[in-house]
Amino acid sequence: MVTGGESGIGRACAVALGRSGNAVALTYFADEAAGASAVSEIEAAGGRALARQADVTDERAVEALFAAAEDSFGPVRALVNSAGLNMTGTPIEAMSLAQFDRIIRTDLYGPFLTCRRFARGLAGGADGGRIVNISSIHERAPRAGGVDYDSAKGGLAQLTTTLALELAPRRIAVNAVSPGMILTPMNQSALDDAAERACKEAAIPWGRAGTAEDVAQAVMFLLSPAADYITGATLTIDGGLSLTVAMGA
């Protein structure tokens, strides 16, 4: 199961999983054609996939999503939470409750609802499963104007480790990846503006922004047998960006 599977990191994860022989249920939010295109890409590579519209903030939609996936493919054994919204860039004095609420609901309630349904779906059957939450380096490294996003991702970090502890006896591993600057629609302005991209990439020690595939490879590792015994971990994928916070002072 990959939420946000029609775009960016989620799509790269869905395609990588499908190519590796897994049946993939992916969600799209507003762009049905993008969901269908991700399914086609997986099927063209010989894989099996379905796309379903779902708002991850909606409890009933999450229930229906898992039910559809289980009907088609059986119990969901791996969950990648990639659906998310970026910060609004609003100073707290100007931030409405609705703005704050929307980001918290999408980036934190969403993974809560899908993780809960995932754990319920495996209850009573053979234990064992994997969850990977797509967090952000901003779970720890703050940005002014990002109190909505940074709070949500900080909460997601705690959700990840708490569930890792809680679900360990059932051999359900819960890990996260923390990307830095990744070239997806979430960074559309850097994709559109070469000068902005060059300026931002100059701040990254590795000298380039990351790709959705860079993140997907790390997610695939955390979902693979090679990652057995890893739980509660966060893998940073940022070309060293988050190491630079104390430079220059």
139 contacts ligand NAD (rule: CB under 6 A) = no
Q: Name the residues annotated as catalytic.
A: 149
88 contacts ligand NAD (rule: CB under 6 A) = no
Least CB distance from residue 229 to ligand NAD, whole Å?
A: 26
Residue 10-49 contact track with ligand NAD, rule CB under 6 A, x = bound: x----------------x-xx-------------------
Least CB distance from residue 169 to ligand NAD, whole Å?
A: 28
Least CB distance from residue 211 to ligand NAD, whole Å?
A: 10
106 contacts ligand NAD (rule: CB under 6 A) = yes
160 contacts ligand NAD (rule: CB under 6 A) = no
Tokens linked to 57: 């903030």
184 contacts ligand NAD (rule: CB under 6 A) = yes
Rounded to whole angstroms, the Cα distance separating 73 from 69 reads 6
> Which span (44-52, 66-74, 161-169, 185-193) binds ligand NAD, by CB under 6 A?
185-193
Q: Applying CB under 6 A, what is the total number of residues that bind ligand NAD?
A: 28
> Considering only residues 14, 16, 25, 57, which one is a binding residue for ligand NAD as defined by CB under 6 A?
57
> Which span (17-25, 157-165, 177-185, 194-202) binds ligand NAD, by CB under 6 A?
177-185
Rounded to whole angstroms, the Cα distance separating 100 from 92 reads 9
239 contacts ligand NAD (rule: CB under 6 A) = no
Contact between 179 and 9 (Cβ < 8 Å)? yes
**Residue 95 CB contacts under 8 Å (≥ 6 apart), including other chains:** 88, 147, 148
> Considering only residues 1, 2, 9, 173, which one is a binding residue for ligand NAD as defined by CB under 6 A?
9
DSSP per residue, 34-53: HHHHHHHHHHHTT-EEEEEE
For ligand NAD, the binding residues (CB under 6 A) are: 3-4, 6-10, 27, 29-30, 54-57, 82-85, 106, 134, 136, 179, 181-182, 184-187
